[in-house]
Structure formats: structure tokens, C-alpha cells
Structure 1
Amino acid sequence: MATMKFPIALLLLMTCFRVTSAAVTSSKYDKSHYGFMPSDMTCKTLYTRDVSAKATDCFQHMCCCTQTVADCSGNGENLTFIPSLPSSIRFLNFSTNAVLNVTEDFFANVTGLVSVDLSNTNLLSIHPNAFRRLRKLKVLFLSHNANLTTAALQPVFDIRRLQCVDLRYGTLQALPDNLFKANALPDFQAIFLHANDIEVVNMTLFKSLPSLTTLAWGLNDVYHLTSAPMPELDTLDLFSNRLVKFPETCAEDGVTSLFPKLRILDLMKNKLDSIPTSLCLPSLKDLDLGGNYFPHLYTDMFRPQLFPSLEHVFLEYIGTRVESIKPFAFRHPNLTMISLMYNDIDFTIDNQYSDDAFAGCPKLTVLQMSHNYFTEVTDQRFLRLFGRLSNLETLYMGGAGLQQISLRTFASFPRLKVLELYQNKVGSVPEGAFDHNPELYELQLNENRIPTVTEATFSQKLRDQFTWLDLSGNPFSCDCDLRWFSAWLRNNNTAFSHAWTTYNCSNVDQLPVERFTLPDQACMLDHWKLNIIIAVNVIVIIVIVAFSLLFRFQWLLRLRLYELFRGSSDVRRRIIQSGNFDFDVFVCYSSRDKNWVVSHLLPELEVRLKLKLCLHERDFVLGKHIVDNIVECVEHSKKILLVFSKDFLLSSWCQFELAVCLQHVLDCNDALIAICVDDVVTRDLTSSMKAVMSTMTYIQWEGGVGGLQFWGRVERALQDILPTTGPRSAIGVGQHATQRSHRHRHSSRHIAV
């Protein structure tokens, strides 16, 4: 907007803003920084005031005054007239009061006003002579008065010195052709008509305003615009209307510009889908086409022949998906700023979005790419897209899904000063990642996935240079590596004072990072050394546990493997037939079970089955070492029979015999025969006994009438060594069993460890 000139000393600016909703973002990005006037900003109000003076009550606690400013706003129906105020008052804020009608003497108490705000006062009418007393009046705010009509506004446009009027948020429709009288407003510069109900605009209406620089029709329903010569027009705001065609900019000769001084053109949120092949905008610097329908950004779309002075291009919130960006789409020798934010463009698709899309912009210093997709963009692709923008000073890439930063990513931008990478997925910042950006003073990396920052992350020069460094909202791992950053955070109030959110430890229950401390002793070992020590200890523990388990269950494992790979019984039978054995069965038992062996086992096996048993109390060679006796007798026996009992598991010699027997079984491809003569609790068994009882079926002695079945099973287990001469009496087996006990039963069980 062109600056309004007043011969007033100590001029200060005050801007009237409308409350609007905006996307939640930590970015400082603002289009007004690049020459654009937002649609929520109206007349610049200039007034004189002693900046050191304090405001005082100047009317019954309803008006507050300084030397030049009176604020009587917000009193509603309690204040319907302008009270007597100091004669030095130049600016009066009388908004949000109940005025209804501005009478002829309404301003009788404040005749020296330069600016008046009557916004939101329910105005219905204005007396034709209401402003006659205000000979210095230049700025008038009348927004949010829905009952004002163009007829009621006629006295406003009779104010000879008027320069700016704010008529936003009304119900105005078509503006009459005679609204502005010829030569009535020689200094009039700006009119703001946002958020009315205007549909058709004929710019010939403003021909009688020779100084007009700003026309603003944002947030209306304008679908038809008739252009007319406006030699002084600087800003044309048509934000959020229904235009389907680009405004005519050339006179009938096709060469002369209708708007030779137009610098700012806001066409955001209309229904445009193309740019004319011929335009006459020699001075245009700022062009906003965001929110329109441009599915393809074609080569030389903004060529100098159309926009010779273009510097800033805004293509935000495109109303349709941007399907392609062709090579050299933005080629222009004067272009300094491009904004493509909020378009969800997936730059991983290189066949749709050319590597050369931004080529041909030698003066580009600002690039706004936030809220597009760079999730899988590699360093190579990133550099092909942007690597030639060596003059880039400001890069916005927030909310873009960026996952990694390397030493090369930003190395092509030696003049980079501002870098916004908020709300991405960056997992770490390599040491020296920004060493190639010596002028960088503002960096936003808040709300990423960065767990730690070390002293080597940023050089000392950059740390001293930062005026804005935001790393808040990252999942910081508060450990030894973060101690340095915690101290830096505590001691640098300037660079970290702009935090978008908090700095908390992710691993210590939301502890603020600046409060995190660790003693030096806790961090004497480097992190990687500590990891090695932990890993070695874990491996040692695993090995010890593994060996312990192997030792504890060695017999179980060996027997399992033996059962898996053991040969057939025929092989063992041939070995028995061809071998030289002294005994048929080696009996391994506790001496406390001698009575059972003598009274039950011997009669059945030696008397009835004619087998020769080896009993250590009877058959061991006197004078020979007991170990040698055990080994030799086991080796010279065809079969091994174990008599398990509670006494057996308490005897160390029995356990030794069992170990020898197991080894013999494994070596000779044989099978053990196990008998339990009483109830043995599994948890009390030794590992070798558990191995036997969990890998093979054993016979449980319970005596009684079931003796026939018990001894029958024993006989079947010894089948391959029984003599083949003569039949054996089955009745004898039953008689023996019956004689031994009428009180017990027998069963065969298989116990799992």
C-alpha cells in the first residue's frame, strides 16, 4: 500500500485489525513482509501523541486520553454522545458504542480530529452536515455497521480532506455511479470494502478520484469486473471473490496499461484457471494467485513479457491438486520470492515435478515450501531441485515430512540466514550440518524427532550468532550426551526465548531439559564404551546360563538325541548274540532296597526267567576297586535294570552307577529298563534320574493282584535276552505275584520334567 503523506510531526502508525482464524504454525512467515497488505488491515492511521505521556481518565471512566488520543470505545448504550475532550485530541476511538445517528452537532466537542473510529456503533444515518466542523478529518472507520446504505454514506464522501475510509463488514451491494462527485475528494487514497455483498464492480466509478492508490474488495461475491484507467492505483485487492477471468489490464490498443503503477495484485481464492497470454502490468511486483485452480505450472508461466517487474509470487492453497511443475516454471530474472505452501505436492515424484522447476531464478532469496511432501526426497533429488539457488537467504520447509539432514543438504546455500524446519521427522542433526551456512541466525527445528544435541552440532560461530533457535518439542533423551545442551539452554536466554513449545526429557517423565543434571562420575565412560561393557556382560551371563542349563540337563538332552537317532532293536540283538557277556542283567539299586530285590526281583528273573543277574553285593569281585567293579560289570551285562526309589536318589554311589549306565547305553545303542518301587517326587530327582524318567517309559511297582501285568511288562522289556529253550509258565508269574502281596496294585507311568 502506498504511504499516505501528512505534514504532521512525530507521526506514529496504528493499524486496525479484524480477528481472523489462521493455521496453527510456529512460522514467522507473513505475506505482509513482502509488500502484501493482508485483507484484515485497513487504513493506516496517523496521529500525534507524546509517547512518554500516560493515559488518564477524561470522562467518567468511559474515556481514556493522552495528549492526542482519546479512547472512548466499548461503552455500548452507556455512551451515545461525544463528551467534551481536550482540544489537542486528534484521534478519537468511539467504536462499539450506541450511536445510531450522527447528528449535525455530534462532533461539536472535538473539532480538531484527524481520524475517527465509529466502527460497530449500529449507525443508521449520518446528517449531511455532520462532518462540516471536522476540517482536518482524513481517516474514517465505519466498519461493522450493517445498517449503513450507500445513500446514508453520501456525507462521508463530501469530506474534502478525506484520504481513507474503512467500510468493511457491511451489507453494501452495488455502488451507485454518482457516489463520488467530480473533484470532491482530491486527496482520497484508499477505500476498504471487505466482506460486503458486492457482486459487480465497474472501475469507471473511481475515475473522479485522481489520487486513489488502494481498492480493496476482499471477501465479497464479485464475479464481474470492468476495468478502467487508474493511473495512480498501487494496490488492488480482490481476495476471495468469484472471478473466473483475470482482470483486463491493457487499453484498447493492447499496449497501454490501465494500471501503470499497480504494484500489488491480490487474486487469491477466486476461480481462475489460467493467465492471459497478454498483460500490461509494467510495475507489478507482488502477485497472489493462491486458492485458484492451476493444476499445471507450465514453463515460463511468469515470464518477463507478462510481468516485467515481478518479484514475489504466491501460489498457496491451490484449489486443485498441482499435478505437475514443468522445467523453468518460475524462470524470471527479478523474482526474489516464491511461495508454494499448503499444496501437498509430493516432490518424490520426479517425473511430474521437474528437477528444473526452480531453475532460472538467479535472484531468488526466499522460498516457502512448507506443508508439501519431502518424506522420501533424497539428498540428490533435493539438490537437483534447489541446489542452484545459491542466493537463497530464507527457506521455509515446515511440516514437510523431511526425515533426514546430511552434511550436503544445505551446503549449497552459503547466504542462508533463516531456515524453518519445524514439525518434520528429522531424527538427528549431523555434526557440522550447518557449517556451510555462515550467515545463519535463525533456525527452527522444533517438533522433530531429535533425541540429543551436542557441542559439536553447531559451531561456536553459529552458537554466538543465533538470535532465534527453536528445538522445542523434540523427544530429548536426557543422558550424559545431553548435559552440555541442558547447560546451554539454561545459559542462553536470547536464542531460546522464542520456543514454540516446551523442552522436556522423553525418558524422565516430562522433566524440563534445563533442569536435567548428572554428576561427572556418572558420565566418566563414553556412551559407546558403556554399551560395549553392557553387551559383554550380557553375553557372559547368557553363556553362563546356557552352560548351566546344558550341565543341568545334559543327560536329558543326550537321551533325547539318543532316542532320536538310536538304531533298531535288531542291531542290539545281534550284538548281544555275538558278544561275550558274564551277566544277563546288571541291576542298579540302593542297598536299602535289597529286600525288594531279593524277595521279588530275583525269584522272577533268575528262577522263573532263567536270567543271570549282577548284584553288587553278590557279584562284585572282592578286593577290586568299587569303581572298576561297576564299570566292568556294566560292560559285561546284556541289559541294565534300574531300581528307582527314594533311597536311590539319596545314594551317591547309586548316582555314580546311573551315570556309568547312561554312558554305556549311549555308547552301545541300548535302552534302559527302569522300575520305581515307591512314589518318587519329581522335584527331588537328580538331573540324570529326570532325564531317564522323562525320555523313556518306566514300570511302577505297586504289587498286588496286578503282578501278572507288571512282570509281564518286565518280561517283554527283557525279550531280546531271554533264553529260547522251553516254555515259561504264565501261571507261575501270577502265583508269584499273588504270594508276594495282596495289598498293592501296579501301573506304568511317564513323568515329564
Structure 2
Amino acid sequence: MAENRRPLTNFFFCSCVFTLTLWNNIKPSDENEFIANYSSSLLEDHSDYETKSLPLSQTKRLQFASADNKINHPSWDVEHNTSDSLVLSNIPENGISDLIQLLSKFNKTSGLKNLALNNITTSWENFIKILQIVWHTSTEYFNIFKVKLMSNINKQSFNYDGTSLKAVIISNVSIQIFYFSQDDLYCIFSEMNIIALTISDSKIIHMLCPSKRSQFRFLNFSNNDLTDMVFQGCNNLDLLETLILQRNQLKKLSKVSSMTNKMKLLKHLDISRNMLYYDENENHCHWVETLAKLNLSSNKLTDSVFGCLPINAQILDLQNNQITTVPKDITELKALKELNIAFNRLTELPGCSHYRGLELLNIEENSILTPSSDFFHSCQNIRELRGGHNPFQCSCELRDFVNFEKKSGGRLVGWPESYVCEYPDGLKGTQLKDFQLSELSCNTTLLLVIALVVTVVVVAVTSFLCIYFDVMWYLKMMWQWTQTKRRVRKSHPEDLQSILQFHAFISYSERDSLWVKNHLIPNLEKEDGSVQICLHERNFIPGKSIVENIINCIEKSYKSIFVLSPNFVQSEWCHYELSFAHHKLFSESCNSLILILLEPIPQYLIPARYHKLKALMAKRTYLEWPKEKSKHGLFWANLKVAINTNLPISAKVV
């Protein structure tokens, strides 16, 4: 018997797997499991076998890996083979002819339901031949993984009639040429009359709209380079129910929504992991009304996305975007049952006022400190809430959230491990279930808040009154006056009289300076020097502050003359001078003020802070400048009598 054995290593090494799980149950949505099955480890035992002893016809799944570029052998009786699943791997370009010869042995009655080609290198022409051969066999699910196309891509004819295929999965295609007609490549796939088509990880940049009504129910073009232009205005995909376009180059959400307009039966759309954004100032969104499940995760969407959502959506995935809040003026989503908004930048739980039927909410990994009370009042139908891994601030406001868990009976998923205090620092790391605050503590906090509010109000009112009545001005003026009086008290009594150097200090507005210089000064100061007048412009000492100069001039003058007019009450410095002179009047009990009314001053023009001026004008007699020239002489005579004071000769200014 041993001498009849021949080594199989010159042919291929075969892994014959006996299994009770038939691959004809694989559906398009199970593509990842399908790939995993045929990518399992191969048998690496290089022992010699007698070819006729291999029970190939009794296996349910066959898996072959080419060793010497051969994939076909006459010992395999395809016609009587009962295997329903076949995986052929590692086929180089010079082994393609054997592959084509092998596949040609299958027909409609072969019983093969699932066929997978793994890691093959071929020309475009032979690739189409393989596809055409499989198209007319009993195969229902055809998977091609890791394909390298080596030759030019040109237009090929294809017969789509009489196929048993339900789903074709083509993944990880590498095209080694760069110049070819895109239509020659895409039209082969766009015209397929099958239920499900997957072309993923292949860097395709476009896909043609079928030329006639398509049978596609399921399309998966994930991890390619498709743009917003794909299927725009396409009218022949009205039977499509599921469309997966994740990990592409989609950008404008409004444009993607318009793509779905003609897909009348579309229920599930996955456009996650793109670069989608929505500008509310651009075109509005127009989704097909049948869309029930929408995946928008891992994009660049902000709060504006809530103005671009399908109104009949039941399942909505918005996780891993840049959403900071759920706007209050969004369109009501009455059909929404599941909302995933995890891994965003939300600072509070969204209420359910716009989706009353919400049952499942995922808000994990956000920036929620304290859930709003609106959530607990509006989200009465929530069956499951994922709210863990947020930086919760443990305070009185969090009690409603903790009570929600106690009343909900397990509706908080991940409780209590995922719900931990982040703030304040003293409670960091404490689980919410262990965080307790008494009613009295919360009332004390409320009282502190009220006290703080009252304090703020008092400070605000006090500040307003101080500003209105110019309190700061008066305090500053009082300080200056107090300092001056303190210096006077320290001086010797015998020197007090020597302080007086002027008969009068004149206070006036610069706008009235012409009258003062042309009339008042010439009529008071005579050539004999009998009357000495103090004027700020000639008697202020350089280097001293204006306030200090004003006080010094008033202190050194026996009288203070104030030229009153509407201009006077608008001068800040006149106000200072009047206030200092008024203090001198009361502190020294002397009749040192002389008021000259140059022009009448209506009461409404006098500011509220000039209450001293109002009091002086009401109680003291003032000289009124007459308009008639005939009365000027009497005016000057009265003024000189009021100033009539003899200064000590030593005190007169030379």
C-alpha cells in the first residue's frame, strides 16, 4: 500500500473540514464572519497521502491553498462533489488558467452555494471571466478578498441572465494600473441583477447609477473614496433598502440627503466615519420618508445637525461628533426610539420634548456635570439610559439623577461602576450610589445662594447710589480738605493770620473767562494794589496737584468769589472749588463767600450732586450782574464793599 502513495506537495495541500454549519445560511450582513471563516488557518501537514483515499465528495466545506501555482487536479470529481462551500486561496497570475478550468466544471446542478477566492493576482479580462463563470453556476454567495489586478482595464461584455447569485462581496482590490476608463470598471458592477453587492477597501472613487431598474436591496461601499456625487439624481435604485457608505469622502450632509430622494424603500443608511458637516445657511435636507435607521457617527457634525434629520428615523447614531447641546427649536422626531449621542461635548442631558417615544439613550463620554431637571420630567418612556463616564459634579442638583436610578429599577446601564463623581475634589472617585446629601444640607446651600444674591443686590444698589450721588467724589474731596486742615492745626496760631495773602479767590468757568478778565479783574484790582486777587492761571504753584492748589488758594484768600452761570454747574473743577469754600465757611464761621450771578440758572440745570449750591442760593444773598450799563456802577460798589478787608501789609504780594 505504501508504494502506491504519491506526495501531494507537488499539487496542493488541502484542508478538508467537516462541519454541520452550512454556508448557504450566510447573509450579506454577515460578511465579516464570512471573511473570517475562509481566512482560517490552513492545514500545514506535509505528509504523503493516497489521493484516492481523500473523501472529497463527502465534505461540506473545502479549503484549498495553492503551493505550486496549481489549483486543479483530475482526481477531484466535481460532478459528484457534495460540498456546498469552497475556499480557494493564494492563487498567483500564472495559476489563473487552472482556476478558470476548475470553476468551469461547476454548473447549475453542482450544489455549490458559497464560493470564496482569497489572495489572487489576475488580469482584468480573466477577472471578468471568473465572474462570468461563477455567474452561471449554482453559487449564491460569492466572496473575493484581496485581489490584485495587473493589466489594462477595458470594456468587457457580460451576460447577466440566469444567475443563482444573491450576494457578491469584493474586498481589498488593488489596481496596478492608473489610466483607464472609469465607466469600463464601474458599469460591470452597477448593472448586476443581484440582491446584495459589497465593494469595500478598494479605493473606488465613484459608482454608476444602474441604466435600468436595479434589483439591489443591499449595497456596501465602505472604506473607499466616494464623494457627495455618488448616486445623485439616480432613479433606478428604488428597491434599495440598505446602503452603507462608511469611511469615504462624503462632506455635505444636505447633498447626501438629496441622494436618498429617489430610493423609495431605503430603510438603513450608514454614512459614519466620513467628513460630514451641515451648514444651516446652505440647502435644506430632504431625506426619503422610509429612512428608519441612520448612522452619522464619527463625522464633523455640530449642533446644527438637528436641523437636518429624517423625521421618521427610529434609530439615530450621532456618537463621536462635535455636538455641544441639543437645540430646543428642532423638528420633532416622533418615531425616534434609539438615540446614540455618546463621545460628544454635551454639558447636560437632552430632554425628550422633541422625541416623546424615545426608549434607548446613550450619552456616555460627554462633559455632563449635572443632568437637567427637564430630562427627568420629559423622558418618562426611557427603558435604557447609558450615561456613565461623565465628569459628574456631586451636589444637591445631582439628587434627582440618583433618585432616577432608585426608581427606574435598573434602567441606568453600567450602574454603579460607570457613574463616579469628578467634582468637587474632595469627592473625586466616589460612586454616585455612595454620594449622600441630607435635605438640611441642600436647604443650607439654598440659603447661601439667597444670601449671595441679596449681597449682590445690596452691593449693586449701593454702587448705583454712590455713582448717582457722586459719593466717591465727595469722599475724595473730604480727604483732601481733612489733610489741609490737619496741616493748618499743626501751624502756630500767631502764623495763622500771615497765611492770608489775597483779598479774594475767584472761581469761574473757562467759558466765562472773557467777562472775568475784561470786567471783573479790571474793576477790582487798582494800580495802587489795594486789592489782591488770586487767579488759578497766575497763582497756582507748578508741581502741585490741582486739588492741592485749589485748597491753598482758598486758604490764602479772605474771600471766595464764585461767578455763577449755566457754564459754572457744568465744570467739575468749579464744583471742587465751591465745596472747599463751603467747608471753610462752616469750619471757620466766617462770611467768606461772595456769589455773583452772571446769568440766571434754571433749577433743572443744576445737577443733584450740587445740593450745596442750591442751598447757598436759597439762603444767601448774591449779587446779580445787571444787563443795563447804568446799574454797573452800583454793582461794582456793592462788590467792593463785600470785599472790604485790609490785609496785613506784610502779607501783600509784591
| Matched position secondary structure for 1:329 | helix
Identify if the C-alpha distance between structure 1 residues 218 and 532 changes in structure 2 by more than 3 Å, giving closer, same or farther: farther
**What is the one-letter code of the residue matched to 1:482?**
L
Specify which of 375, 390, 395 is matched with residue 479 of structure 1.
395
Q: Percent identity?
A: 14
Specify which of 122, 141, 148 is matched with residue 214 of structure 1.
141
Deviation at 1:537, TM superposition (A): 3.7
Specify which of 374, 378, 381 is matched with residue 301 of structure 2.
374
Deviation at 1:392, TM superposition (A): 1.8
Kept in 1: contact 2:353–2:378 (CA 8 A): no
Identify if the C-alpha distance between structure 1 residues 203 and 524 changes in structure 2 by more than 3 Å, giving closer, same or farther: same
Name 2:11's counterpart in structure 1.
none
TM-score by length of 1: 0.52
2:310 paired with 1:394: no
Identify if the C-alpha distance between structure 1 residues 721 and 587 changes in structure 2 by more than 3 Å, giving closer, same or farther: farther
Deviation at 1:149, TM superposition (A): 3.9
Name 2:227's counterpart in structure 1.
295
| Matched position secondary structure for 1:193 | strand
Kept in 2: contact 1:183–1:208 (CA 8 A): no
Alpha-carbon distance between aligned partners in 1 of 2:292 and 2:499, rounded to the nearest angstrom: 109
Kept in 1: contact 2:23–2:113 (CA 8 A): no
**What is the one-letter code of the residue matched to 1:190?**
N
Deviations 1:640-687 (A, max 9, x none): 9xxxxxxxxxxxxxxxxxxxxxx9777239999xxxxxxxxxxxxxxx
Kept in 2: contact 1:366–1:392 (CA 8 A): yes
Specify which of 411, 416, 434 is matched with residue 336 of structure 2.
416
Name 1:236's counterpart in structure 2.
168
Name 2:271's counterpart in structure 1.
340
Deviation at 1:486, TM superposition (A): 2.0
Identify if the C-alpha distance between structure 1 residues 454 and 323 changes in structure 2 by more than 3 Å, giving closer, same or farther: closer
What are the residue-to-residue correspondences of 1:258-657 with 2, within 5 Å?
259-260=192-193, 262-276=194-208, 278-279=210-211, 282-297=214-229, 301-303=233-235, 306-319=236-249, 325=255, 328-331=258-261, 332-348=263-279, 350-351=281-282, 354-358=283-287, 361-377=288-304, 382=307, 385-386=308-309, 389-409=310-330, 411=332, 413-429=333-349, 431-433=351-353, 436-438=355-357, 440-453=358-371, 456-458=374-376, 462-463=380-381, 465-466=382-383, 468-489=384-405, 494-497=410-413, 502-508=418-424, 509-524=428-443, 530-537=448-455, 557-559=476-478, 588=489, 605=495
Q: Which runs of 5+ in 2 are unaligned?
A: 1-18, 176-181, 502-553, 558-578, 589-645
Alpha-carbon distance between aligned partners in 2 of 1:308 and 1:638, rounded to the nearest angstrom: 101
Name 1:724's counterpart in structure 2.
650
Deviation at 1:216, TM superposition (A): 1.4
Deviations 1:95-133 (A, max 9, x none): 5775234623xxxxxxxxxxxxxxxxxxxxxxx43532x
What is the count of residue pairs matched by the alignment? 477
Alpha-carbon distance between aligned partners in 1 of 2:419 and 2:390, rounded to the nearest angstrom: 7
TM-score by length of 2: 0.59
Deviations 1:452-481 (A, max 9, x none): 235651458745x51x32112223221112
Deviation at 1:430, TM superposition (A): 5.2
Higher helix share: 2
Alpha-carbon distance between aligned partners in 2 of 1:610 and 1:441, rounded to the nearest angstrom: 91
Deviation at 1:313, TM superposition (A): 1.6
Identify if the C-alpha distance between structure 1 residues 356 and 539 changes in structure 2 by more than 3 Å, giving closer, same or farther: closer
Alpha-carbon distance between aligned partners in 2 of 1:281 and 1:554, rounded to the nearest angstrom: 87
Name 1:60's counterpart in structure 2.
none
Identify if the C-alpha distance between structure 1 residues 313 and 561 changes in structure 2 by more than 3 Å, giving closer, same or farther: farther
Alpha-carbon distance between aligned partners in 1 of 2:305 and 2:228, rounded to the nearest angstrom: 24
Specify which of 89, 111, 124 is matched with residue 187 of structure 1.
111
Deviation at 1:399, TM superposition (A): 2.2
Deviation at 1:292, TM superposition (A): 3.9
Kept in 2: contact 1:398–1:424 (CA 8 A): yes
Alpha-carbon distance between aligned partners in 2 of 1:94 and 1:408, rounded to the nearest angstrom: 53
| Matched position secondary structure for 1:283 | coil
**What is the one-letter code of the residue matched to 1:237?**
I
Name 2:45's counterpart in structure 1.
99
Q: Which runs of 5+ in 1 are unaligned?
A: 1-9, 17-31, 46-92, 105-127, 251-256, 567-584, 591-596, 613-636, 641-662, 673-719, 729-753
Kept in 1: contact 2:222–2:246 (CA 8 A): yes
Identify if the C-alpha distance between structure 1 residues 671 and 246 changes in structure 2 by more than 3 Å, giving closer, same or farther: farther
Kept in 1: contact 2:24–2:140 (CA 8 A): no
Alpha-carbon distance between aligned partners in 2 of 1:216 and 1:725, rounded to the nearest angstrom: 119
Kept in 2: contact 1:103–1:130 (CA 8 A): yes
Alpha-carbon distance between aligned partners in 2 of 1:519 and 1:40, rounded to the nearest angstrom: 54
Deviation at 1:283, TM superposition (A): 2.4
**What is the one-letter code of the residue matched to 1:427?**
T
Identify if the C-alpha distance between structure 1 residues 199 and 474 changes in structure 2 by more than 3 Å, giving closer, same or farther: farther
Deviations 1:577-630 (A, max 9, x none): xxxxxxxx996359xxxxxx6xxx96xx599x8999xxxxxxxxxxxxxxxxxx
